[in-house]
Structure 1
Amino acid sequence: MSPPNSVPDQFRPGFLPPSVAKQMQDNSPGQQRPLTPAPLDDVLADGTKYKPAGKLQGKKAVVTGGDSGIGRAVCILYALEGADIFLHYHPAEETDAQDTKEYIFKVAPNAKVELCAQDLREEKACLEMVEKIRKWSSGLVHILVNNHATQQEVPAIGDLSSEQWRHVMIDNSHSFFYLTKNILPMMPWGGSIINNASITTNPFVGHPGLLDYTATKGAIVGFTRALSNQIVKEKGVRVNAVCPGPIWTPLVAATMTKESLESFGLTTAIGRAGQPVEVATAFVFLASADSSYFTAQCFHVNGGQPY
């Protein structure tokens, strides 16, 4: 049976963006604007717009890497749900960050959005951003989303440079520690920390072309579970991870090989890549009181991809 005509093409099994390999970018983590069609941020699989219910009204949320891809969709849905947003982005992503802020005001005119450009590869830079967050939030943060990441597909370990290994480790895992450690004292009972991991994470799949990236995502899963066990009873702050499968984002276009792009998402049970909105809804759930009995969990938003 075919999907109803109201279903956007991006949600149909077998869908690949036209000329997907020609959309490869060389500017990791990539630009959202050139992607055709644009990743879906707030349009659901039945063709309707996301319907907010005030689940995050009055909350203050920090989202790293919020300019594009999954982070952009999370910021949009959080704003729709009533949260004030501190949107971090890499300095090279100014255009995408401004586009995201503009779109948020379009769909949520009363939203409050603070943009912050920061390269988080150094502890000093992370601490500088924490002070900006402290001033913005008056020392109260309800939701922390550690979402930013980098990757570059390298098929063989012999071709993976030590420089890339260090860069990915620092950006994808060390910065999560620096930010979480220093933002946690601002979080009240009932707060939520959500880390973006990946289905590639050991012991789930282990992408052969993303050795360094997979290692960092495995670290994030361990960090999530151990931190939850350390703080949830004493501080009442829950810690969970979302482990996306293949999701159509600028990072994919900027870092995957031509061969990977030409079959991207087609091996999942659903038969297509996911859209950022399909991951962002999990972030809404984990940030809200709906998930008050969920902690130390890994949510696999992966289209039924086995692991």
Structure 2
Amino acid sequence: MDPPPDHGESSYKGSNRLAGKVALITGADSGIGRAVAIAYAREGADVAISYLNEHDDAEETKRWVEKAGRRALLLPGDITDREHCKQIVAKTAKTFGRIDVLVNNAAYQATYDKLEDISDDEWDKTYSTNIGAMFRITKAALAHMKEGSSIVNTTSVNADAPNPGLIAYASTKGAIQNFTGGLAQLLAERGIRANCVAPGPIWTPLIPSTMPPSSVENFGKQVPMKRPGQPAELAAPYVMLASDEASYISGATIAVTGGKPII
């Protein structure tokens, strides 16, 4: 990517806010997921890195986690596979003994000008990746999460202001926000929190790989700050929501949108 995204490799400074915790992050090989993995490691957490098949990218994330003095576990595979969702949770729990933080971040999107151009398989893949896997991974992870644990789901500004060219993706992000609100209520008695982060235009590999060149060239110019955000600029809310400092925050959505309000 030109310019290369900033994941906080040089800028993020930890302060022991997640000391001793174990985090499972999906889509952690690059983009927002890598930025969160780096931040969590520098805050003192061990990190399980779930990703599809971008092995070189995942190894790079692992290198940064280990450079911070924390343990890293690579978990390649397709989260649209129901059994794989269970396996990544089981392997994380077996390796680290528990799960304190679950970050459901992996996502798939594609751009279409007309609804008729979206095949049934394309629609199903988007929903299976973005919301189906979230349900299954969360369901499996709860067996390994104790009071004080935290779930952080990545929704999007598209949950409130859907881009018509991303109708499949945008509608899953609305579902994620709704799922998280319900989940927070279901888990409150167990002392487990669930929240969302809603990014606006963030400079990740998903953008040039799924959008036409004209959209990529103007990406981020539509928000008040007139630029895309960097993955590193997402780290702070993910850290805060995972930390014990957020003990009374559940069912919330934190917008990181470059000044564009969400309702």
Report which of the two has the higher share of helix.
2
C-alpha distance in 2, partners of 1:127/1:185?
A: 11
Instruction: Report deviation, 1:134.
Output: 2.2
Within the alignment, does 1:87 sit opposite 2:53 as a pair?
A: no
Q: How well do the aligned residues superpose, as a CA RMSD in angstroms?
A: 1.2
1:287 aligned onto 2:242: yes
SS, match of residue 165 in structure 2 = coil
- Out of 83, 90, 98, which is 1:131 matched to? 90
State the 1:123 CA deviation.
Answer: 1.1
Aligned residue-pair number: 262
The DSSP-based 3-state class of the residue aligned with 1:97 is helix
Distance between the aligned counterparts of 1:51 and 1:262, measured in 2? 31
CA deviation digits over 1:31-77, x for unaligned, max 9?
A: xxxx122111116xxxx722211000000000011000000000000
5+ residue gaps, structure 2:
none
Gaps of 5+ in 1: 1-34
SS of the equivalent of 1:79 reads: helix
- What secondary structure is seen at the aligned counterpart in 2 of 1:304? coil
Instruction: Tell me the CA shift for residue 171 of structure 1.
Output: 0.7
Whether the 8 Å CA contact 2:104–2:154 is kept in 1: the answer is yes
Alignment TM-score, normalising by the size of structure 2: 0.96
Match for residue 65 of structure 2?
Answer: 104
- Provide, for residues 82-136 of structure 1, a one-character-per-residue CA deviation record: whole Å limited to 9, x for no partner: 0000111112x10100111123333x1x211111112110211211222212211
The letter for the 2-side match of 1:161 is S
Task: State the alpha-carbon separation in 2 of the partners of residues 274 and 50 from structure 1.
Answer: 15
1:302 shift after superposition: 0.3
Q: Does 1:157 align with 2:115?
A: yes
For 2:128 and 2:43, locate their aligned partners in 1 and report how far apart those are by CA, in whole Å.
32
Of the three residues 170, 182, 187, the one matched with 1:226 is 182
Q: Identity rate of aligned residues, in percent?
A: 40
- Distance in 1 (CA, whole Å) between partners of 2:143 and 2:175 is 22
How far did residue 151 of structure 1 move? 0.4
Quickly say closer, same or farther: Cα 1:244–1:271, change in 2 above 3 A.
Answer: same
Q: Return the alpha-carbon distance in structure 1 between the equivalents of residues 30 and 235 of structure 2.
A: 12
Whether the aligned pair in 1 keeps the contact of 2:240 and 2:246 (CA below 8 Å) is yes
TM-score norm. by structure 1 comes to: 0.83
Secondary structure of 2:157's counterpart equals coil
